[in-house]
Every structure is written in structure tokens, then in C-alpha cells.
Amino acid sequence: MVVLYGIKNCDTVKKARVWLDANGIDYQFHDYRIDGLTSELLQRFSSELDWSAMLNRSSTSWRQLSQEQQADLTESKALQLMLEIPTLIKRPILDTGSKLMLGFKADTYQALFK
């Protein structure tokens, strides 16, 4: 089963959901705020995706962090921040069952679901 991870009011997540629906892709939507987020899930993501790419440094949530929180980031520290503040995770993350994909681009999704 294909799973799309994100937050329902995120514009990029909305675009991905519209694309999946329009292309008849059956998927489950996992909203971090409603369905939760575990350290195990984040570890799984970071084992396949680069944790630094997962960290959305252009988000409002990132800008609201203190300089101390932003400084000296390690994978462990970044994942802990993402666990505490899921809006720090770049969205969406698409899990096809065999591959994880970060972000949304229609042409990339098209190639993936060929």
C-alpha cells in the first residue's frame, strides 16, 4: 500500500494528493498531527533519505527555533527536533512500499508510477 506522509494543510501535500487522486493511485494519507509520528518511523525515513534533506530549513517552524536549537545539528538532534515538531519535516514523504520519495514533483511521480 502506498502511504503519503505529511500535514493536510500543507500546499505541497495538497498538490501531491490531487495528483495521486487524478492518476487513480490508491494510497493512505498519514497526517503527522492526527496519526502521530514515532522515532521508529523517523529512523526508517532517515535510513533511506538524507536526514539533512528531510529537515525543512525554510519553514516557519525552523525560523522559530532558537539559535541554540539550530546550532551543531547531528542526525540524532535533528530527528529529535522533527519528532517534537513534525512541521520541521520536508513534505510530503511518499512510501511506495519499496521506495521513499521526499517532496513532490509531478514528473517524478509520473515516472515512479509508470
| pLDDT value at residue 29 | 98
| pLDDT value at residue 72 | 92
Annotated catalytic residue, options 4, 6, 7, 10 = 10
CB-count exposure of residue 4 (10 Å: 0-12, 13-18, 19+) = buried
| pLDDT value at residue 36 | 94
What's 2-112's CATH class? alpha beta
Written as tens digits, the pLDDT of the chain (114 aa) is 999 999 999 999 999 999 999 999 999 999 999 999 999 999 999 999 999 999 999 999 999 999 999 999 999 999 999 999 999 999 999 999 999 999 999 999 999 998
| pLDDT value at residue 93 | 98
| pLDDT value at residue 114 | 87
| CB of 86 closer than 8 Å to CB of 8 | no
- Beta-bridge partner residues of 55: 89
- Rounded CA-CA distance 52/73 in Å is 9
Q: Phi, psi at residue 52, to the nearest 5°?
A: -70, -30
| pLDDT value at residue 46 | 95
50 belongs to the catalytic site = no
